[in-house]
Amino acid sequence: MLKTFFDFCSGIGAGRLGLENCGLTCVGHSDTSRLADTTYRLLHNASTDKNYGNLKKLGKDNLPDFDLLIAGFPCQTFSVIGKQAGFSDDRGQIIFHLSRILREKQPKCFILENVKGLVLHDNGKTIKKIIEELNESGYSVTYKVISSLNCGVPQMRQRVYFVGIRKDICNSINDFTWPEDIVKPDLKDFLSDRKQIQPELLNILIHYLKNSTNNGKYTVQDLQCMNGKILDTRMNDLRIYDGKVPTLRAQRDGIYYVFNNTIYQLTGCEALILQGFPQEYVDRVRDKVSDRHLLMQAGNAMTVNVITLIGQCLINYLKKKENK
């Protein structure tokens, strides 16, 4: 029976909310970002919760007991849009500290999340090393790339998720059942702020439409006629989506949408909703955390819905094993 979890690399606590939706209780969180921790406390009404800080300094002597470890460990070093430095980057070493904590604390299970690019990084050697490390820490491990688009939010966010169970509980989890796909909801229900594009951003968009890739393809007036469409100024080319938004990223602005022939800019609160945070949570940070920071923090977060679905699958799987 799973009852408690510890939220490592907690960010703004999307993983926390996902597991709380499964009926589990958070016994602590760990993150080094002051700004993210401020948002975390507001979102979760957790003003008095202890942030245990840098997980590199944490272990059996200064952590509470918990049944499940969850962490969206740093992904910049494995991302296809980064330098893909992997384990050579200090951020890429976090997985080894998580593995050490697993060895020392021996929780029943874990859920880890990272970018899809991790699967192919260094021709598959990186993920093989991670699996070996987790196995040696005493856990049977399985993983799968899942899109948030199939889990109840209209966001094209592909991430790799690892599930591990302590070997004395289950020596092999090859028969672990991952969540089934959910029908994609209507995007318009996630975009309600209607913040019209600011003049400075409109000027940037106009300049963007004139770059060597986009020149002559669209005018601003053309875009204003694309009602219901999502506009993504990713890298050099303009990408247009219908009924879904591209992956939210911490270091990328420039997602817009068109409604009633008006171009609106995606807000931080809308980004949180696209990551699965309910409106009541979003209202706790509205006007208290800047749009810029919310966009960045949402881009770094896990998707609440995905964690809820995986968490429930894990709970059900362990119940079946216990009944046997």
CA distances in angstroms from 171 to 135, 139, 234, 291, listed in the order given: 10, 8, 44, 46
- Distance, CA of 188 to CA of 112 (rounded, Å): 31
Tens of pLDDT, residue by residue over 73-126, are: 885 554 444 444 444 545 448 999 999 999 999 999 999 999 999 998 888 888
H or E element, residue 36: helix 34-43
DSSP assigned state of 96: H
Domain ranges across the chain:
4-181+302-323, 187-299
- Distance, CA of 221 to CA of 208 (rounded, Å): 14
Please report the pLDDT score of residue 91 as a whole number. Answer: 47
Residue closest to 276 by CA, chosen among 318, 310, 251: 310
| Catalytic residue chosen out of the listed positions 22, 26, 75, 109 | 75
How many other C-beta atoms lie within 10 A of the C-beta of residue 97?
18
Residue closest to 82 by CA, chosen among 31, 28, 118: 118
Alpha-carbon Rg for the chain, nearest whole angstrom, is 20
CA atoms within 13 A on the CB side of 285: 34
Global pTM reads 0.93
Q: Which CATH number fits domain 4-181+302-323: 3.40.50.720, 3.40.605.10, 3.40.50.150, 3.40.190.10?
A: 3.40.50.150
CB within 8 A of 127, min separation 6: which ones?
A: 118, 119, 121, 143, 160
- For the chain, first and last CA: distance in Å? 14
- Distance, CA of 24 to CA of 311 (rounded, Å): 9
Please report the pLDDT score of residue 250 as a whole number. Answer: 78
Query: Where do we find the tokens 């989890």?
Result: 173
pLDDT in tens, the chain (324 residues): 899 999 999 999 999 999 999 999 999 999 999 999 999 999 999 999 999 999 999 999 999 999 999 999 885 554 444 444 444 545 448 999 999 999 999 999 999 999 999 998 888 888 999 999 999 999 999 999 999 999 999 999 999 999 999 999 998 899 999 999 999 999 999 999 999 999 999 998 998 899 999 999 999 999 999 999 999 987 788 899 999 999 998 766 679 999 999 999 999 999 999 999 999 999 999 999 999 999 999 999 999 999 999 999 999 999 988 877
22 labelled catalytic: no
Nearest-5° Cα angle at 236, 217 to 215: 25
- β-pair type (229-234, 237-242): antiparallel
Q: What 3-state DSSP class applies to 7?
A: strand
